Structure 1
Amino acid sequence: MGPRGWRGPGGGAWDLLPVPPSYRGTSVQVCGLWPFAGGSGRPLVGVPVGHDLETGATVCCDVINWFRHGLISSPSMLVLGLQGLGKSSWTVRQILGLADQGVIPLVLGDMKGEYGAVIEALGGQVMRLGENQRLNVLDPGAMGAAADRIGGEGGAILREQALQRSAMLVTALIQIVRRQPLADWETTLINKGIRQLLERRHGAQEPPTLPDLAYLMTHPDPDLVRAALAGTVEEFLDATKPLARSLEALLDGPLGRTFSGQTTERLRLDSTGVCVDVSAIRRHSDDVKAAIMLATWSEGYASVEAANALVEAGLDTQKHYLMVMDEMWEPLRIEGAGLVDKLDGLTRLNRNDGVGNIFITHSLKDMESMASLADVKKARGFAERSSIVVTAGLAKEDLRALSEVKRMSEVEIATVASWSTPAGWKQRMIRDPQTGQTRPAPPPGAGKVLIKLGERAGIQTQVTLTAAEMDLHDTNTRWLSTP
């Protein structure tokens, strides 16, 4: 008997052997098919993201479950790739897969408006910040509300943290306007002024605002005068004139529309997900984008800290969050704004806060475009601290730079680089079977990613979105054409 059957009289051989169908399932689902089942060498922990391009095996991956099961030391992921090759599609799969497991997605600063429909489909909250929406940076917000519920020493500590966060944010906004750091005494006065305003308004229906702080700096009380080591009000006004001018410039400039009044809508962590859509400011100046992104990050992490404080006080149950930061490197490039330091501090404690992070950018060049060498090193630290690096198609030069952070073999570099190059010049269009409209077909490398974990060989994965995911996340709607 040969490999194709019996030959000779009475026998029979197959010239063409059919390929038997293959099915994927859990050990519970296929246990009755033994011994016609084969195990997978790929991790089956986490969100199913696609299939292995080499073996066809199912690939599962996400920062929360891999951290919970000890596969990674920190729940952080860096996603890289050229535009249109599937970075946001990968992220949508992460959001939906983890939301199904009770993890709350927080998209902090959706610069292109790509995730709002996904969060709405989950029944979550979509905040559209930038046009006719205001954010009060002096509002204690979720931290203040949690402090009132906790009470006692724990509430006082949380209220102090809320004050320090407001002072940090006001300082950073002034640095964005000035493009240089504040003097130490100016930071002290801002802290002192905010403390006075919050104490006066404690228990009031509305918290103080930035215009209140600007007024206080031009109409100081004796405590504020003494804090500046001034003998008289006139001496105080003369010494603090640069600070007063900076506050007025902040309020009268393009940032005033967003930061000069009470918060229009507060972020709610009791929802199934949150997306802060800032696409309205995408074509605004770098100053506006940097300020609003910074305020968005601060509001998001403050809300998580407040939720965790309630858990520690026994007033709520523990929740886990997935922070998604897309296109985050654009505002970080502003020299003197301090955004790199701010984000560096926020993300270092993600493990202790019950938060998983997904950072999304095009390549490491985005991180290296900072004006300061110190900022460049800190920005590269985001990549170095990311336990998982997921890269779609990139140029070889970018991949070699990435290899300095997460070592890649020459075969991996060549493979991933090939995903960014079309095979030929043939036009590629697809037609929607329901509407009959046509659009450009996805690039040949779309959805192909390499998952890198430490020194392990990368997992080449093909991500295929379901029809429901495609309906929620179609980035080519403006290119639709009728037949």
Structure 2
Amino acid sequence: MTGAAATRFRTRGGRYVAGPRLRLPAHRSSSAVLGGAYPFLATPPCDLGVPVGVEAFTGGLFCFDPWALYGAGELTNPNVLLAGVIGQGKSALAKSLALRSIAAGRAVYVPGDPKGEWAPVARAAGGTVVRLGPGLSTRLNPLDVAPGVDVHATRGRVLAAVAALTLRRELGAAEQGALDAALALTEEHDASPTIGSVVEALGAPDRAAAKADGLRVEDRVADGRDVTHGLRRLVRGDLAGLFDGRSTQNLDPHAPMVVLDLSGLGSDEDALALAMTCSAAWLEGALLATSAKRWVIYDEAWRLLRQVALVRRMQAQWKLSRAHGIANLMVLHRLSDLDAIGRQGSEARALAEGLLADCSTRVIYRQESDQLAGTATALGLTRAERDLLPLLPRGSGLWTMPARTHVVHHLLHPAELAVVDTDAAMREETDLGGGSR
């Protein structure tokens, strides 16, 4: 370089060194203006999937579809966590995302609706609502298993999970053996066994099978006595008539949406957990044989996290999400809901935290100030992301993915409001922002 251009640089030892420091006045501007002037400062647009709303910093359209983003390498798994305090719009987001995904060819399944809020959504989408509760005629057999899987092992896991819930503890080795033997005996006589028939087999085990295991019949009966009492609740206890016989509902695997309405069970947490375990097993058995990509939505998930056996079953489904084309959506109020399942460092807490780790997409609506530290730690948020949470207006959420972060204002179409916004009756004016909870 020669001439006047060379005078702009100084060299030392043949290498260029910095010239005089520039003295420019500070400049401030809005993020929208800076994003246009310096596009490398703005997050790339997320335009794969169904429309969700407007990206707050760029004003552009924000879209989302976990399968498309996974295929593009943006996500490591299709599972989603949605959290936010009551009244900020997370329920409306979940419901509108379900409706819009159905329009795009996806299916939606809600394996447990404790408050009965998803039934109108299913009806609006032309889906199916299965209502469960005392006095109703619907009966589901959780031992109905999809073809192509290990039938005996799958049924055994369902029975063990149900028994663990009723006993409020894990099964011992002897109890597992007694339950497995009872199931095998039942399957010899019936290709479609029920929980009722398994309970009968626990009380009258096969003598030859017990002898082959080096046990007397009396020993096998004793081994399974507590399990018998636990499963009895579904046969002659408060949940009798729901899961103790053959299924009365033939599910259309091509239905765009299926909701299991559990609002008839009231506020009984134990009954809800048992019903969720049984109904989810039945739903899997009825639907896993299909190849359609589908959302599985766990609303009010904070109520489920209190049951270790149910969390373990949810974790297994999370791990298999990619194999079955499933995107799980877990809806919480706040991350401190995890405290309900166990203390820090316990196996139960580790299971719940594993669910969070297996959610590539985290959508966080406004959090109270006392929740910020725990939320940031659990989700690995930056300081800027953490400080934003208590400032988010209603209907706006922080969307974090492995390589991108967006602040999105969810927009509802007026035609959706009556279906997805369960909080509309509490407000005098209707806006197009996020809806209920």
TM-score when normalising by structure 2: 0.81
User: In the alignment, does 2:427 pair up with 1:454?
Assistant: no
CA distance in 1, matches of 2:280, 2:356: 19
Give distance in 1, aligned partners of 2:382 and 2:170.
Answer: 43
Matched, 1:162 2:151: yes
Cα deviations across residues 67-97 of structure 1 (Å, max 9, x unaligned)?
Answer: 1222111111110101111111111222122
Greater displacement, 219-228 / 47-56: 219-228
What is the distance in 2 between the residues matched to 1:377 and 1:243? Answer: 26
Matched, 1:467 2:403: no
Match for residue 376 of structure 2? Answer: 403
Name the structure 2 match of 1:281.
Answer: 265
The runs of 5 or more residues in structure 2 that have no matched partner are 1-41, 429-437
- What is residue 317 of structure 2 aligned with on the other side? 346
Q: Does the 8 A contact of 1:128 with 1:278 survive in 2?
A: yes
Task: Choose the corresponding residue for 1:245, options 210, 226, 229.
Answer: 229
Look up the match of 1:259: 243
Trace 1:164-313 onto structure 2 (pairs within 5 A): 164-202=153-191, 207-226=192-211, 229-231=214-216, 233-284=217-268, 286-307=269-290
> CA offsets per residue over residues 323-368 of structure 1, 9 Å max, x none?
111112313313xx52222111111120121111111111111123
Whether 1:378 and 2:383 are equivalent positions in the alignment is no
Q: Which residue of 2 aligns with 1:117?
A: 120
**In structure 2, how many angstroms separate the alpha carbons of the residues matched to 1:358 and 1:400?**
23
Amino acid at match of 1:382: L
RMSD: 2.4
Per-residue CA distance 1:254-275 (angstroms, 9 max, x = gap): 2223222222314332211211
Q: Specify the SS of the correspondent of 2:139.
A: coil
Letter in 2 for 1:98: S
Partner Cα distance (1:87, 1:166) in 2: 35
d(CA) in 2 for partners of 1:397, 1:87: 20
Q: Measure, in 2, the Cα distance between the counterparts of 1:258 and 1:392.
A: 36
The alpha-carbon distance between structure 1 residues 449 and 211, as it changes in their structure 2 partners (threshold 3 A), is same
- 2:140 is matched with 135
Distance 1:325 1:370 in 2: 16
1:208-229 per-residue CA deviation (whole Å, 9 max, x = no partner) reads 3222222222233323432553
Does structure 2 retain, via aligned residues, the 8 Å contact 1:110–1:279? yes
Q: Per the alignment, do residues 236 and 82 of structure 1 end up closer, same or farther by CA in structure 2, a change over 3 Å counting?
A: closer
> Per the alignment, in what secondary structure is the counterpart of residue 230 of structure 1?
coil
Over 3 Å counting, the alpha-carbon distance change for 1:102 and 1:54 in structure 2 is same
Unmatched segments (≥5 aa) in structure 1: 1-38, 148-154, 308-317, 420-444
User: Deviation at 1:49?
Assistant: 0.6
SS at match of 2:321: coil
Secondary structure of the 1:44 match is coil
Q: Which amino acid aligns with 2:329?
A: I
- Out of 87, 90, 99, the position equivalent to 2:90 is 87
Q: CA deviation digits over 1:152-194, x for unaligned, max 9?
A: xxx5xx3xx2322222122222212211222222212222222
CA contact (8 A) 2:144 2:282 kept: no
Assess if the C-alpha contact under 8 Å between 1:126 and 1:276 holds in 2: yes
- Amino acid corresponding to residue 119 of structure 1 in structure 2: A
Deviations 1:92-111 (A, max 9, x none): 22212211121111112122
- Judging changes above 3 Å, is the alpha-carbon distance between structure 1 residues 242 and 89 closer, same or farther for their aligned structure 2 residues? closer
Deviation above 6 Å: which 4+ runs of structure 1? Answer: none
Q: Does 1:60 align with 2:45?
A: no
Correspondence 1:388 to 2:361? yes
Alignment CA distance shift 1:394-1:128 (3 Å): same
Answer yes or no: is the 8 Å Cα contact 1:406–1:452 preserved in 2.
no
Contact 2:92 2:421 in 1 (8 A): no
- Quick one: which amino acid aligns to residue 193 of structure 2? P
Classify the secondary structure of the residue corresponding to 1:351: helix
Name the SS for the 2:329 alignment partner: strand
Q: AA paired with 2:279?
A: T
% identical aligned pairs: 25
- Counterparts in 2 of 1:473 and 1:239: CA distance versus 1, 3 Å: closer
| Cα separation, 1, equivalents of 2:165 and 2:398 | 37
**Is the CA contact (8 Å cut-off) linking 2:179 and 2:227 kept in structure 1?**
no
Task: Describe the SS at the equivalent of 1:49.
Answer: strand
SS of alignment partner, residue 276 of structure 1: strand
Q: CA deviation at 1:292?
A: 0.8
Q: Return the alpha-carbon distance in structure 1 between the equivalents of residues 266 and 402 of structure 2.
A: 35
Amino acid at match of 2:364: T
Secondary structure at the residue paired with 2:160?
helix
Q: TM-score, normalised by structure 1?
A: 0.73
1:329 aligns with 2:314: no
Distance 1:227 1:465, change over 3 A: farther
